[in-house]
């Protein structure tokens, strides 16, 4: 299969890049050496995932 871009790393940055490029119509392949995507995000915030200070969240950030 052909891809427009290959993203190395399925962390927050890679997943957001993949989602943004995918929405724009690009064919994206995301590669990670971990056994599941977003692993670090899942342990962030003491296991409660990404936490931002109240009021600092933009449209992408859900608590
Ligand atoms: C314990 C902990 C708690 C945290 N809590 C918070 C919080 O509450 N709020 C907050 O905003 N931030 C928090 N952070 C920070 C947050 O996790 C990082 O800022 C964020 O994950 C960075 O995203 P990233 O996509 O740049 O990198 P990463 O999340 O590190 O993603 C990089 C990805 O690339 C993969 N990778 C690396 N090298 C290779 C390779 N050679 N081949 C294939 N894949 C590779 C990794 O497996 C990983 O999935 C916390 C971090 C930790 C460790």
With a 6 Å cutoff on the Cβ, whether 22 touches ligand 1 is no
Confidence of residue 53 (pLDDT cuts 50, 70, 90): low
For ligand 1, atom 3, which residue shows the shortest CA distance?
Answer: 44
pLDDT in tens, 40-49: 888 776 666 6
Cα distance between residue 30 and residue 15, in whole Å = 8
CB 37 within 8 A of CB 13: no
**pLDDT, mean over the chain:** 81
18 by Cβ neighbours in 10 Å (0-12 / 13-18 / 19+) ranks as buried
Q: What is the pTM of this model?
A: 0.80
Neighbours of 51 (CB within 10 A): 12
Domains in the chain: boundaries: 5-43
Nearest residue CA, atom 13 of ligand 1? 44
């Amino acid at each position: 299969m052909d891809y427009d871009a290959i993203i190395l790393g399925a962390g927050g940055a890679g997943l957001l890049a993949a989602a943004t490029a995918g929405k724009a119509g690009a064919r994206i392949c995301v590669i990670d050496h971990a056994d599941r995507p977003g692993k670090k995000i899942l342990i962030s915030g003491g296991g409660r995932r990404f936490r931002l200070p109240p009021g600092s969240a933009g449209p992408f950030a859900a608590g």
